[in-house]
Amino acid sequence: MFMMFRALRKWFVSPFGSFSGPKTETLQRPVPKHVAVIMDGNGRWAQKRGLPRIAGHRAGMKAVKRITKVADALGVQVLTMYAFSTENWKRPKDEVAFLMKLPEEFIVSELDELIQNNVQVRFMGETDQLPAHTLRAVEEAVKRTSTNTGLILNFALNYGGRRELVLAMQQAAHAAIHDGLVPTTIDEAWIDEHLQTSGLVHPDLLIRTSGEIRLSNFMLWQLAYAEFWFTEQLWPDFRDQDFIQAIDDYCNRNRRYGGLAINESKDA
Ligand code: V07
């Protein structure tokens, strides 16, 4: 844990300070470049308090703000948040309508601060089914932060991992017919470029809250080598210390890519 505090120097100076020197030199392993989060437990959090489910979603949005700051402070480069899955359309109509207003609420309350702090907002998912007002808000957030060079805050909205792979395969078939794409040109790099995470490193760490131990169709291709970290904590209760704990655990785990662990000596 001590090591982690070195990584937090920037955080103590200013949550969104401009320090960009080495943050991780004493850690066994660098902080993850890309952290993906399944933010589960918002509805349950509200029900436990006798509140409507939407109160849980709003509390969940506050947790997004908090964790964005701490992720940036720790030197994480990409933070992907699963805000709305392709399955979530099955929820009650009122709840879906409320969720679809959250991107607007978020940009009204957060966009200026994100811009000041050099955060770049990105989006992945299918835009077709989104209400026009939701899409406008997301596009505004993406556009107004597109030249920022700091933390990438990537929202997965109307996103599904299998759907993403279907779309990539459709692009391949289209290119084979119209652009002379040959089968051997399709390799892992080609697929990466045609997924919605194109240009981003793959997540090193997946966090899921609320005690569910499932992937639920999230980033199926990109999570192939990621570490998974689960907690019983409900998303609105997820605090800075919990995120720091997840990163610290990640840093202290040995990851093997079928070969030597990163912190394993060659002659040990
Ligand atoms: C949503 C809050 C977090 C907990 C999980 C479900 C509810 C932030 C956004 C958002 C999305 C795009 C954007 C800016 C903000 C959001 C939805 C739900 C649908 F450009 N939180 N949040 N979108 N929740």
Instruction: Output the CA torsion 234→235→239→243 (10° steps).
Output: 110
Written as six digits, the tokens of 69 are 């700051």
Residue 60 beta carbon below 6 angstroms from any ligand 1 atom:
yes
A 10 A CB-CB count for 86 gives 17
- How far does the centroid of ligand 1 lie from the alpha carbon of residue 138, in Å? 10
Q: Pick from 135, 57, 50, 62: which is nearest to 91 by CA?
A: 57
88 classed as catalytic:
yes
Domain ranges of the chain: 27-160+202-252
List, for residues 5-31, the tens digit of each pLDDT value: 445 544 444 444 444 434 444 457 899
Residue 42 beta carbon below 6 angstroms from any ligand 1 atom:
yes
A 10 A CB-CB count for 56 gives 22
Residue 7 beta carbon below 6 angstroms from any ligand 1 atom:
no
In a 3-state reduction of DSSP, which class is residue 171? helix
- How far does the centroid of ligand 1 lie from the alpha carbon of residue 165, in Å? 23
State the pTM of this model. 0.89
- How far does the centroid of ligand 1 lie from the alpha carbon of residue 42, in Å? 12
Residue 138 beta carbon below 6 angstroms from any ligand 1 atom:
yes
Q: Pick from 166, 172, 160, 167: which is nearest to 220 by CA?
A: 160
Ranges of beta strands (E only) in 192-267 are 205-208, 227-230
What pLDDT sits at residue 259?
A: 62
The superfamily CATH assigns to domain 27-160+202-252 is Decaprenyl diphosphate synthase-like (3.40.1180.10)
Please spell the DSSP secondary structure of 50-92, one letter per residue. Answer: T--HHHHHHHHHHHHHHHHHHHHHHT-SEEEEEEEEGGGGGS-
> In order along the chain (268 residues), what is the average pLDDT of each group of 10 residues?
48 41 56 98 98 98 98 98 97 97 97 97 97 98 98 98 98 98 98 98 98 97 98 98 98 73 48
